Chain A
Amino acid sequence: MRVALFWMLAVASIVSGWRVFRTDSMVRAAYWLMASFVAVGIIMVQLDAEFLGLVLILMMAGEMTIMAVFMVMFMMNPAGLNPMMMVHQHRASIVAGVLAFVGLAGVGIFARFPEPTLRASGQVTAQLGHELLGDSMLIFETAGVALLATMIGALAIAGATGRFGSADEGSQEPGEA
């Protein structure tokens, strides 16, 4: 049962990954990629990397949506519903894609991984926490807090009632001196 589920998810992740390049809309492409990530996330949950798998889904839901919205925003395409070719440089990209897939799959199959030092138990998340917040804690915390502060600052500036009064004040139409 578990094995069957694994294969189903594996096939689903590859098929939806392939559909990303075959669909003709930016939003559909983004969400095919999302579907692929969800399948990978569930595989990770199955492999007892529960926390990592769930966090993958959590993060990708936001990221794929932001990606879709930004693409729609910048491409001249009403809300991404009109059809468009989603790929260019077909030959090169096909070659690169196949090479990358074969290479990674080869690593997965032929590489000799260290003997499993972790027992499959509920301790995986805790051990992950110790790893992240042990030796590397300073790096992670610094980066995390800096990023968060940047985001909050950006929001405070971009809001219509900005840090220094109304955001409209003093802004110029582009092209005007």
Chain B
Amino acid sequence: MIDVTIVVNGETRRASVPPETTLLKLLRENFALTGAKLGCDVGDCGACTVIVDGMAVNSCLMLAGQVNGRNVTTIEGLATRDRLHPIQKAFEDTGALQCGFCGPGAIMATKALFDENSDPNVKDIRDALSGSLCRCTGYTKMIEAVQEAARVLRSESRNSSHTRELKVTAP
């Protein structure tokens, strides 16, 4: 057994697991974060995509031990109690989620893309989603969703400095 301590969605969590445990199994079975899905278990489908230190990874290919001391974001870490993340909203609105099994992975891949590039073109989006397989909806709606989410996030970041000023002046 090995001891693993990671920060998941801003919360420090510990587990003692067999050394062959993958990050995916650690998240799903030890931390009850079942948003990342097991589709192929060999890194082909991307349903298990999570973000480790800013990079989108296939969590089925990463051992839990490799993640020790690192920062992990999963689909459960995007929405807050009062607000969907704009990527989730855009995926929902454009119909990019059908059976939904690939959705969390594709959304996390999109999140990793936005962390690096707030204004991606279609080629950038295709590259970012190339590791996420979908068998129902196809990719057209996903690309639409990513473009829509990018627009929303950019307009929000333009307005955010303004919002902060308002807060300061409020009694």
Partners in one complex: no
Binding site for B on A (CB under 8 A): none
**B interface list, Cβ under 8 A from A:** none
